[in-house]
Structure 1
Amino acid sequence: MVTEFDLPHIFDPGSANENPKDRIGETKPPLHLIPPAAEIQEAIVMGLGARKYGPFNWRSANIRATIYIAAAKRHLAQWLDGQDDDLESGISHLAHARACLGILLDAAATGHLIDDRPEPGAASELIAQYTTLPGCGEHQ
């Protein structure tokens, strides 16, 4: 944690144009790199979910990881198969998938995630193994 006593040590007086907050700000998560279009669409989906289930409902009742992984994968599959928008909401399937993953991240960070994933399998090893095959990484 940076205190006011640390400021003289992190401020370089040789740089007359530098704001002393810059060095502190550069150590924080770069939230400005999240594309606004994605954030806005995810917010719309989160608003729909808040109306349907209550805002931040996963913080009141723990959630199972596989329920949200399955929902995200369904939205991604539908988008990949050519359906851009969810038929019920009219919002992009990608925004719905982001919302599912955002809820998972928040639930994990706040201690409200039930980790019901199966025992670890070989997915990581298989991806590494097949990534080295010629032509495997080429988009079809």
Structure 2
Amino acid sequence: MTSKPSNPKDAFGIRKASLSCISAPVLFEVGVGMQEGACKYGRHNYRVIGVRGSVYYDATLRHMMAWWEGEDIDPDSGLSHITKAITSLVVLRDAMLQGKFNDDRPPKSADWLPGLNARAEALFEKYPEPVLPYTERDNSWMDGAKTEGGAPVIPANGQVVEVKPKSGESMSEAICRTANEAHKFRPRAPRETRHRFTVGDLVETYDGQRGLVVGFDAEFIYVNTPKFPRGGWFPASLKRVPQRTEPLT
């Protein structure tokens, strides 16, 4: 026998509620957030005193809106606003499970969302090519350049590859899929296939632009250029520019 058979318990264990699917870093962040609450109010106070839905609804939305408006860190705790929002929901959900939830939601509303969704869909039909959003970071690379036929393209092998979304696939999803198919991305190449470049090298691309090397694949280098500030894959045959501190042009 060349391999050990699976433990018979595995067949039953994998069918039970899983913790291996939970992000450990996020879980530990939530643990710190819960510890903060324990120090301030007493650990598991919500299982005895109970909670009002409106209090935790408001707290969750305050953290989410602060994050959405550009504040990453909660100034009181030093934790991410996202972590604090999750922590609020953990307390709320636990109180619901333990029968300690004070449901002070307003009377149930009439069915209102489908009508608004229909109106939103009509806007996409009315404006098939809306003006791109203004964002904190430049995400224009996600929309690609435009070919004469109007199809989005991404950089690949020093050229461009047309992006063709599949049924039900968003343009962002299609771009990511096309890039992976074109480059077969691997975060770190084996040592014997590493290139003569190092992160931070200045290189000259095929269109004469200069960019910084920020990563490697087994066959390509990942370069940030003015045209593609979020980066694009290029063959390792690009010419390296000796002056690393020279500004991009």
Structure 1, gaps ≥5 residues long:
1-15
Equivalences, count? 124
The alpha carbon displacement at 1:18 in A equals: 2.2
What are the equivalent positions in structure 2 for 1:11-50 lying under 5 Å apart?
17-50=5-38
Structure 2, gaps ≥5 residues long:
134-249
Higher relative contact order (CA 8 A, sep 6+): 1
Deviations 1:16-67 (A, max 9, x none): 7221111211121121111112111111110000000000110111210110
**SS of the residue aligned with 1:58?**
helix
Q: Which residue of structure 2 aligns with residue 105 of structure 1?
A: 93
Q: Hey, what's the Cα distance between the residues in 1 that align with 2:83 and 2:68?
A: 13
Decide whether aligned partners of structure 1 residues 54 and 19 sit closer, same or farther in structure 2, where only a CA change above 3 A counts.
same
Decide whether aligned partners of structure 1 residues 36 and 73 sit closer, same or farther in structure 2, where only a CA change above 3 A counts.
same
Decide whether aligned partners of structure 1 residues 131 and 33 sit closer, same or farther in structure 2, where only a CA change above 3 A counts.
farther
Q: Which has the higher helix share?
A: 1
Query: Does 2:26 correspond to 1:52?
Result: no
What are the equivalent positions in structure 2 for 1:1-140 lying under 5 Å apart?
17-121=5-109, 122=111, 124-126=113-115, 128-130=117-119, 132-133=121-122, 135=124, 140=133
The alpha carbon displacement at 1:76 in A equals: 0.4
Segments of 4+ in structure 1 off by > 3 A? Answer: 122-136
Q: Hey, what's the Cα distance between the residues in 2 that align with 1:57 and 1:31?
A: 25
Q: Which has the higher strand share?
A: 2
Q: State, as a whole percentage, how many aligned pairs show the same letter.
A: 31
Q: Hey, what's the Cα distance between the residues in 1 that align with 2:20 and 2:11?
A: 16
Deviations 1:58-102 (A, max 9, x none): 011121011001100000000111111111111111110000000
| TM-score, structure 1 as length reference | 0.78
Deviations 1:108-134 (A, max 9, x none): 000000111112224543565456446
| TM-score, structure 2 as length reference | 0.45
